[in-house]
Structure 1
Amino acid sequence: MRGTIRRACTAGLVIGALVTGLGACTGGEGESRTDQGRKTGKPVATACANGTFTWSHLTERDRLTGVSDPERLGKGGGALRNPMRRVYTPSPSVRADGPAPSSAEILFSLGKKAGEIDSDARTLAEAGETWSFTDVRQPAPELDTDRIKPGAAGEYIQYAGVREVAADFRYRCPDGRTVSGHARNWTVDFAGLTDCEVRPDSPVAREVARRSCEPA
């Protein structure tokens, strides 16, 4: 599927918040767990602040987030009116099997590993600045905000997507304690335009064709 692709945002933006497996990472030393508001006397496990990340199985993947139904335009083209329907909602995700640093620190390390963050700082706290890649409160990119206007007749489909980056991590403390986990985020969102008469030439293009071109 050849066609027009327009980058809608620059690298480094993130969306939403989905953080799991980090419930044991909060609380300071000496605090106790509570059970329905009652002290249990059991100390809360916390992550060390001076550990080292090791990343593996780093992947980057374009994901389709929205697609419209086909729409035929006459001579000279014009504005597309069919809205895109959402097919996937990307979300940053951090999972760990034990006490780990904050999700922002983990995403900071992932961003450096993936080349999305250029910093010599060892941690986000030491960096003294922030990056949108580490912000787990960003909303998902909206659809239909970057409408493409074809300049010729044809039957068009508009679509949107994001590029996701994901990897496994191991966090090792100086005393030998380790925690393993997985982190994911997206780095850029894009909009594209194609039609059902063009042969798909990418995974995203093939999914567009399957969702909007094949008979129900």
Structure 2
Amino acid sequence: MHDMVGRACTAGLVVGVLVTGLGACTGGEGESKADQGRRTGKPVATACADGTFTWSHLTERDRLTGVSDLERLGKGGGPLQNPMTRVYTPRPSVRADGPAPSPAEILFSLGKKAGAIDSTARTLAEAGETWPFTDVRQPAPALDNDRVKPRTAGEYIQYAGVREVAADFRYGCPDGRTVSGHARNWTVDFTVLTDCAQRPDSSLARDVARRSCQRAAASGPSGA
């Protein structure tokens, strides 16, 4: 199985691979420690405002979020009908073992470390803007169910995914206090049209082949 980027050139099929970055915008940052204290009436320990992040074990991984069943199209192709079924829901995640900056500040630092955010600001507050990447409540990308119409025969599957980044952090304060934790989010989401006739060339493509190509082969011929 091979992503449609290569196949489109030989088959005359113009199908784009949608890759969406997370640009700057305005948005919520979650409840602050001060808001928590006012809401509960209890004192809440807070992190220092002038600490420094140190990141380690940074990883990037493509995760499959949705995949369609295989559709066999005859000569001349035609519109694909099968919608994608969700197999994984990505969610921003921030964990800390003590008083830490807000999740938005932690994700801002992770975003700069991972190259997802281009900013020279030391903190999110100094940046004066927010990014979807910094929103711990950011919803998972919707699965694109638009009907694609290949113009050639083949065994087609659509799939979607995200590129997740994750890392461990340590936040150190000038007075010697430190807090450790872990953060995760995604940098891009994408949709791909692929063909079961081609050999899988990535871990994501192999996952798609197991879910849709092999299942279709086991169930016998169907479709056009």
Shift of 1:33: 10
4+ residue runs of structure 1 moved beyond 6 angstroms? none
The alignment's TM-score, normalised by the length of structure 2, stands at: 0.81
> Unpaired segments of 5 or more residues in structure 2?
6-15, 25-29, 219-224
Please give the secondary structure, in 1, of the residue aligned with 2:207: helix
1:52 aligned onto 2:91: no
* 1:33–1:77 distance in 2 versus 1, CA, 3 Å: closer
Identity %: 77
Q: Could you state the TM-score of these two structures normalised by the residue count of structure 1? A: 0.84
Aligned length: 201
Q: 1:11 maps to which residue?
A: 21
Moved more, 4-13 or 180-189: 4-13
Q: Which residue of structure 1 lines up, in the alignment, with residue 87 of structure 2?
A: 87
Structure with more of its chain in strand, by fraction: 1
Aligned to 2:207: 207
8 Å contact from structure 2 (residues 76, 153) kept in 1? yes
Structure 1: tracts of 5 or more residues without a match: 15-21
User: 1:13, 1:187 within 8 Å by CA — same for their partners in 2?
Assistant: no
Question: For residue 135 of structure 1, what is the amino acid of its counterpart?
Answer: D
1:141-168 alpha-carbon deviations (Å, 9 max, x no partner): 1113454322201111111111111111
| Cα RMSD after superposing both structures | 2.5
Separation in structure 1 between the aligned mates of residue 188 and residue 105 of structure 2, nearest angstrom: 20
Question: In the alignment, which residue of structure 2 is the partner of 1:17?
Answer: none
Given that 1:65 and 1:86 are in contact with CA atoms closer than 8 Å, whether structure 2 keeps it comes out as yes
User: Secondary structure at the residue paired with 1:119?
Assistant: coil
Residue 27 of structure 1 aligns with an amino acid whose one-letter code is: A
Which structure features the higher share of helix residues? 2
Question: 2: distance between equivalents of 1:138 and 1:145?
Answer: 20
Residue 26 of structure 1 is matched in structure 2 by: 33
